Amino acid sequence: MVQQEQDKVLEDTERVVGRQALRNNVAAAVALADAVRSTLGPKGLDKLLVGTDGSTLVTNDGVTVLETAKVEHPTAKMLISTSRAQDDEVRDGTTSTVILTAELLVNALELVDRGVHPTIICSGYRMSGPVIEKALTEISRGADDATSLSSVRTSLAGKGDVGMQEILAQLAHDAAKATGSGNPEHVRIINERSGSIKDSELIPGIVLVKARLHREMKMMNHPGRILVLDGGLEHRKPELEASLKITNLGAIDEFHTRARAQLQSRIDSLKEAKIDCLVVRDGIEEEAHAMLSEAGILAYRRVERPEIEHICRATGARPVYNFEDIQETDIGRFESIREKKWQGVEHTIFEGSQTKGVTVVIRGSTQMRLEEAERAFDDALGVACQLVREPQLLPGGGATQIALARRLRRHAETIPGREQMAIEGFAAALESIPRILAENAGLDPIDELLRITAAQSENDSDWQGLDVTTGQASDMGEVSITEPLAVTRHAIAGATEAAISVLRIDDVLWAKQDAQEPDWQTDED
């Protein structure tokens, strides 16, 4: 009876329960991982993505591939959001995250088939966390300037050509250092469709693609005071919607004179505050151009909000909403303001006194190349900034994963319960990274895995990994294949969380596409 009622309630829902639900979810995760596994590593292949509008994109980036794919399965969607979180947080390691999640799930399913309950597997996976955390701190080494740069270079491996990687890595590294804070949002990026990638440059200062308000205004090759107005310098609008009834010609003149005087008094207050440069978010009244010029104030209008934020950061200015109450603390300081013409377009360079601020100008001859460079730069900048925040490195080329797997296996031996099997499953999942790196380089995955594991134990070094460019097991520090600690740590933690949440599902309820209004109202009791 109760069962019948339940069936009724879920009439418009498709339901998959227990083992079958897990099996379906794992299959979805594996399908997703299969879509990106061939892109892993510097020898990974590219994917050609074709949008619904026929637009094309060639990429090697896991998260880009996944986000373009039209995925319906809820588990697959969950994995994509884990990968996106990895991208948002550390800008790298997205492919590894998806692969690791899928491997954790495949190994879990195998254990379920052997009679281990998913709850035990989740608990074993969770028990691996602290072991991994401790091991990562032991394996990692402090980064200096040179090793940070080579780590940024590693993150670009496989993206575009080597020449481009070299230029972008250096730019990202320098820009990240210049921020001081390691916040990638403090770097202004502009792209110019001219020249080639090698003409890309780092400019100390905030570059605006904009000319000064009026030709007569003088550029400032000296320090000065800057005010930022979050609004416009325009005639005040009447507060009420009043229509002006003109009774004589003099009235119209008087009206204009008053408006002009108001404008002049606002500019006088700028003069009083000894402002040299005015940056305005909205418009500046035509009549004010000459007044500003006369007052010796260099002005810019219609400056977008993100640009205003950059200028404020660089100069220490605080945006004001009107000129009535300018405080000394609102006024910023600049070192110089210059103009430069690129491809016939005026650009203004603000050099602040606080942080100076930096702008990276990325150049490329075609739109496609420019976009490719921009995406790669964005990732490289994320990695470089990450290293400014936490200058710690781990070996790449699968070395970290193998070192972790070795430790986990040793730890598993000490656990008497069935969790032991799950911890071993976790170790095996980590080994998928070096296996796939080898596979993508045309090497034998099993041989390579055994070789590196042996090399690590022989040399008693966690830094032995696979250099896929030479096909040799080497010390990853010597061949400069490294990754920021945060990238790997985040990837493993994200994958573990995602796998556990999938394992905890034992019932999937799908709303039927053509669900009708429930008809219980018309039913007899």
Residue 95 catalytic? yes
What does the DSSP 8-state code read for residue 355?
Answer: S
Cα–Cα distance measured from residue 276 to residue 423, given in angstroms and rounded to the nearest whole number = 66
Cα–Cα distance measured from residue 362 to residue 285, given in angstroms and rounded to the nearest whole number = 34
Phi, psi angles (nearest 5°) of residue 336: -165, 160
Residue of 39, 59, 61, 400 marked active site: 61
Does residue 95 touch ligand ADP according to CB under 6 A? yes
> Which of 182, 181, 152 lies closest to 168, judged by CA?
152
Residue 61 catalytic? yes
SS3 label, residue 360: strand
Q: Taking the complex as a whole, how short is the minimal distance between the CB of residue 140 and ligand ADP, in angstroms?
A: 14
Q: Which of 62, 118, 364, 382 binds ligand ADP (CB under 6 A)?
A: 62
Q: Could you tell me the two tokens for 278?
A: 């005015």
How far lies 37's CA from each of 29, 51, 53, 62, 435, in Å?
Answer: 12, 21, 26, 8, 11
Which residues here bind Mg ion, judged by CB under 5 A?
92
Does residue 118 touch ligand ADP according to CB under 6 A? no
158: partner contacted, choices Mg ion, ligand ADP, none (Cβ within 5-8 A by kind)? ligand ADP
For Mg ion, the closer of residues 92 and 103 by Cβ is: 92
For ligand ADP, the closer of residues 437 and 508 by Cβ is: 437
For ligand ADP, the closer of residues 41 and 391 by Cβ is: 41
Residue of 64, 75, 82, 95 marked active site: 95
Does residue 94 touch ligand ADP according to CB under 6 A? yes
For ligand ADP, the closer of residues 224 and 397 by Cβ is: 397
How far lies 255's CA from each of 244, 245, 246, in Å?
Answer: 10, 12, 10
Q: Taking the complex as a whole, how short is the minimal distance between the CB of residue 445 and ligand ADP, in angstroms?
A: 13
Q: Taking the complex as a whole, how short is the minimal distance between the CB of residue 35 and ligand ADP, in angstroms?
A: 13
307: partner contacted, choices ligand ADP, Mg ion, none (Cβ within 5-8 A by kind)? none
Q: Taking the complex as a whole, how short is the minimal distance between the CB of residue 372 and ligand ADP, in angstroms?
A: 15
Does residue 149 touch ligand ADP according to CB under 6 A? no
62: partner contacted, choices ligand ADP, Mg ion, none (Cβ within 5-8 A by kind)? ligand ADP
Residue 82 catalytic? no
How far lies 67's CA from each of 159, 204, 370, in Å?
Answer: 18, 35, 20
Q: Which of 370, 483, 492, 498 binds ligand ADP (CB under 6 A)?
A: 483
Q: Could you tell me the two tokens for 83?
A: 């990968």
For Mg ion, the closer of residues 92 and 330 by Cβ is: 92
Count of CB atoms situated within 10 Å of the CB of 487: 27
Tell me the one-letter amino acid at 244: L
Helices 419-430 and 118-139 cross at an angle (nearest 10°) of: 50
Residue 519 catalytic? no
Q: Taking the complex as a whole, how short is the minimal distance between the CB of residue 187 and Mg ion, in angstroms?
A: 19
Count of residues that bind ligand ADP according to CB under 6 A: 24
Q: Which of 466, 495, 502, 503 binds ligand ADP (CB under 6 A)?
A: 466
Tell me the one-letter amino acid at 34: D
What does the DSSP 8-state code read for residue 322?
Answer: -
How far lies 127's CA from each of 123, 296, 352, 405, 408, in Å?
Answer: 6, 68, 50, 14, 10
382: partner contacted, choices ligand ADP, Mg ion, none (Cβ within 5-8 A by kind)? none
Residue nearest to Mg ion (CB): 92
- Is residue 263 within 8 Å of 312, Cβ to Cβ? no
How is the beta sheet containing 392-395 ordered, strand by strand?
141-142, 392-395, 482-484
What does the DSSP 8-state code read for residue 184?
Answer: G
Q: Which of 433, 449, 498, 499 binds ligand ADP (CB under 6 A)?
A: 433
Q: Could you tell me the two tokens for 64?
A: 């880009």
Residue of 276, 379, 462, 467 marked active site: 379
> Which of 284, 286, 292 lies closest to 268, judged by CA?
292
Task: Return the residues of window 171-190 that contact ligand ADP according to CB under 6 A.
Answer: none
Does residue 396 touch ligand ADP according to CB under 6 A? yes
Does residue 437 touch ligand ADP according to CB under 6 A? yes
Cα–Cα distance measured from residue 281 to residue 292, given in angstroms and rounded to the nearest whole number = 16
40: partner contacted, choices ligand ADP, Mg ion, none (Cβ within 5-8 A by kind)? ligand ADP
Task: Return the residues of window 29-58 that contact ligand ADP according to CB under 6 A.
Answer: 39-42, 44
> Which of 269, 208, 263 lies closest to 233, judged by CA?
263
Q: Could you tell me the two tokens for 495?
A: 């994958």
Q: Which of 118, 124, 158, 382 binds ligand ADP (CB under 6 A)?
A: 158
Query: What are the residues binding ligand ADP (CB under 6 A)?
Result: 39-42, 44, 62, 92-96, 154, 157-158, 396-397, 433, 437, 466-469, 481, 483
Q: Which residues are catalytic?
A: 61, 94-95, 379
